[in-house]
Structure formats: structure tokens, C-alpha cells
Structure 1
Amino acid sequence: MTNTRPRVELIPIFEDNYVFCLIDDNNQEAFVIDPGEAAKTSQYLKDNGLKLKGVLLTHHHNDHVGGVRPLVSEHPAPIYAPLKNKTQIGHADTWVTEGETVRLGPFEFKVLELPGHTLGHVAYWEPKMKWLFSGDVLFGLGCGRLFEGSYEQGYESLQRIKKLPADTLVYCTHEYTEANLNFCNMLSNLDNSPITGDNEDLELYANQLLSRREMELPSVPLKLSVELRVNPFLLAKSVSQFTYLRDLRNKQ
């Protein structure tokens, strides 16, 4: 049998969520990240003859964890979740913290604690594949709302992501990129806009994004190298700039 490279498939759920299914074709095994809904995820595993071998959770919001219990009742597998969300999640097998490595099949995930959206939020970084599963911390042209954390925490979490290799692929859990593009276009028309990126880069991004969406293709995964040039929240040079942008985006 020819060895094939592991891959990530996106399972759309709800209006704009994705469940990520990491597939090891050599063993017909799958590892699922943030199954907010069970039925579609379970059906995908059955349709593709995959055995579920692990579930990774980034944070406690229901659209990320709501499908975990029915999914593992049908496809038994260990659940990994952030320790700081233990009281909110309550049904993981392994609790993870900053700097730990989770080894599942061919994958080795480094746990990054990235508070802001929630206090216990983690991301999973796979350095060999250069994949980042960012949950709700970073989006295409945007970032997650700060439901629990401070502006300082949100800003610092993005600074950590900026230090990852530029060729990282970012798997964020929501298809928000078009809405965030509208925000960027609004920012570009402000006299005091903190955006310092090249408008030509944003125009190219917009053309490629709209072409993909017209074909009903996802904008995910994101290329970190591109987001570094056009995402206003990654371009923010200080907590005060980040705060200004986040407050402005909250009003949209």
C-alpha cells in the first residue's frame, strides 16, 4: 500500500461552522476537532469508512462541543479539552494545558493557550504539517469577539500566532471572511484607519475570496502569510489599536 499524506476535510455544520476531520488514509482513522453537531460528523465518518480515534476541543462554547457526547457514544474515542474549561465541559478524558503535546496517530499537536475569546481557549498547532486549529481566536480578516478575556489577552494571543511560520495554514472554525471583508473595506475609507497594509493585497484577497465563495468553496484554511499582510487585527501595532478595531467591529 502506498503511504499517503494526512489531510484535513471540512464538515460544514449550522450556518457557518466547520468541524475539522483529520484523516490518516493509511489506517482509515480520523481525528475530529470541535464537533459542535454530531449527526453530520458521524455520517461523514460512516460514508468514508473512518474509525474515530480522538476528539480535540478548543473551548467550551456549544457550537464547538455540543455534538461531542452523541458522537463518542456512537464512535467511542478519547476527548481532549482545555483544563481551564473543565467546569464548563466536564466530560473530557484528558485535560490539556500550555506547552503540552497531544500525540494522535501521525499527528503531534502542541497546545497553545490563547485567551481572549474565552479565558480557557486553546489552539492546536501541528508543526510537521504546519497546521493551526485556531478555534475562534483568528478568522479570515478578523478575530474572535472577547466574551471573557481582556483586550490585552486578545492582542497577545494574536501576537503568538504571528510568530508561527508564515507558511502556516490556519483552520478557523467559522466562515466569517466575507463579513470581515466588508469591515476591512469600511476601514479603508476612514481617514484615521489604523490599517497599514497594502490596499493591492486586500484587493487581490477580495477577488480570490469572492471567486471561491461564488463557487461555494470555503475560505478556510487561511494562509497565515496572507493574513499577516491584510488582517487588520494582525496589523494592529498596539493594544490600543487592537481595542479600537475590536470595538469598531463589535458595532458592525
Structure 2
Amino acid sequence: MHNTRVELLPIFDDNYIFVLINEDLQSAVVVDPGESAAAEDFLLKHDLTLAGILLTHHHTDHIGGVHALKTRFPCPVYAPVKNKTQIPFADHYLREGDIVTLPPFSFQVLELPGHTLGHIAYWNSEHKWLFSGDVIFGLGCGRLFEGSYEEAYHSLQRIKALPPESLIYCSHEYTQSNLQFCRSLSADNNSPLSGKAMTLEAYATELHNKRSHQLPSVPLKLGIEVTANPFLLARDVAQFRYLRELRNRY
């Protein structure tokens, strides 16, 4: 296996830029650069060339740094074909099933609408990494700005079907606030979390250990999320909608 790793660069209040590093080639792939300075500084500090930029959707906190980053480090930009209007500066537009190859990395494109209609994720089967943008978060999921509840539920079911050892690189550090929401559900008879307080508290203990040492909760471990994340535990679209609407008001 190639000498590779993923670095997380915190930006804004709670966003992450992901930098996939191939140390053999001294190259990198950047995912969702909401601003450019953090990524530029990191690439220069580590003497890395930029092989490509992957975008999951069109929101500014995910694409705001692309122009400056590409100007400094010329490279191809990949984006969802359904966001061609909102991301007119991409070089390649992607749809379900497309393969992006940026050696040694290869990604399968998954269309996961809900948060936005055009949202895609990038699945690396070698390492079982999913770069999921704003579809799923620790103990949570993304708000539905454009898609339907049916679409969002189906997108989460697709993530849930991935191998349990998968690592989910979601783009926001929302896990602590989502934990508080989950605790508010524990006494609710219509919640999938009812009767699972021990599972949630084990999750909370690990989360506290990470955050108290200024460590990110990302990447998420899918095998743990499927036991504790209420949006993955939702049994059908109706229950998912109920939970999402509760979360919107929380």
C-alpha cells in the first residue's frame, strides 16, 4: 500500500479542509477548500504539489478557496455535474458511478442528494475513506436546503450500507452539539435512541477524550455511527423526517 494519509485543516468556526497526501510522490489532493490560506500554507510547508481539487457541493464554505488555490497551484478541479451553474470554473463534472483517478488515489463518485440536490461524495475503496461533505455528521446529518426527506434518507441508507470499518470524512465539527440533541431524545418514545443510553454514553466518553485534547471527532467510524446516530437508526422516511424537523428546532 502506498505511503498515504489524510490531514485535516480547520477553517472558519467548524469546517475542515481535507488534504490527502501521497508521500511517495510528494503530492496532494484537496477536498472542499472553503478558503485558500490554510491549504496553501500546508502545501508550501510540506513541499507538496497539488494533483487535484475535489468538491462535494456548491456552498461557499466548501468552494470559496478554489480560485486562489488553483492560481497558486494549477491543477484540475472536479465538481458535481448538477452544480455546473454554481461551479462554472471546474474542469471535470461528475455523476453517479464516475471514477476519479489521481494516483495513487482512486475515487468512485456517489450522488447523495438531500443537503443539496447535486451533492456528491468521493469513495476510496482501498482505504475505505468516504469524503461526504455535508450529508452526514457525527451523530447527525446535514440540513435539507434543496433535497427532499426521501432523497436525504436514501442517501444516508447508502452510506449505512458501506463497510462498517469505513472512515467518514465529514466537513464540519458538529459532533458535540449533535450529542446534546441525542441526549434530548433519550426520553422520547418515538426515538430510535430509546433504550440505547449506554451506547450513546460510550460514544460521549470517546468524544470527550478527543475534544478535551483538541483532537477532531472526524473521521467518524461508520461502525459506531450506525449504533448511535439517530438519523442512521431511523427506520423509515417518516421517522427520519420527524427527527430532522426536531433537530431543525433544537
Give the TM-score taking structure 1 as reference length: 0.97
Identity, in percent, stands at 60
**Matched-pair contact (CA < 8 Å) for 2:186–2:194:** no
Q: Which residue matches 2:80?
A: 82
Structure 2 gap segments, 5+ residues each: none
Q: Which residue matches 1:221?
A: 219
Q: Which residue matches 1:204?
A: 202
**Matched-pair contact (CA < 8 Å) for 1:197–1:229:** no
Q: Which residue matches 1:126?
A: 124
**Matched-pair contact (CA < 8 Å) for 1:195–1:236:** no
**Matched-pair contact (CA < 8 Å) for 2:29–2:51:** yes
Deviation of 1:196 (Å) = 5.1
Q: Which residue matches 1:179?
A: 177
**Matched-pair contact (CA < 8 Å) for 1:10–1:19:** yes
- The whole-number CA distance in structure 2 between the counterparts of 1:116 and 1:193 is 21
SS in 1 for 2:17: strand
**Matched-pair contact (CA < 8 Å) for 1:132–1:170:** yes
- The whole-number CA distance in structure 2 between the counterparts of 1:235 and 1:104 is 35
- Structure 1 residues 175-231: Cα deviation after superposition (integer angstroms, max 9, x where no partner): 000000000000012243232563211111101101111111000000000000000
> Could you tell which deviates more after superposition, 96-105 or 194-203?
194-203
The answer on 1:19 being equivalent to 2:17 is yes
Give the TM-score taking structure 2 as reference length: 0.98
Q: Which residue matches 1:137?
A: 135
- The whole-number CA distance in structure 1 between the counterparts of 2:38 and 2:79 is 21
Q: Aligned match of 1:246 in 235, 244, 247?
A: 244
Deviation of 1:58 (Å) = 0.1
Q: Which residue matches 2:108?
A: 110
Runs of 4+ residues deviating >6 angstroms: none
- The whole-number CA distance in structure 1 between the counterparts of 2:190 and 2:107 is 40
- Structure 1 residues 98-152: Cα deviation after superposition (integer angstroms, max 9, x where no partner): 0011001111100000000000000000001100001000000000000000000
How big is the alpha-carbon RMSD for the aligned residues of Structure 1 and Structure 2? 1.0
Q: Which residue matches 1:10?
A: 8
Amino acid across the alignment from 2:130:
L
Deviation of 1:4 (Å) = 5.0
SS in 2 for 1:21: strand
Q: How many residues align?
A: 250
Q: Aligned match of 2:48 in 50, 69, 80?
A: 50
**Matched-pair contact (CA < 8 Å) for 2:7–2:18:** yes
Amino acid across the alignment from 1:118:
T
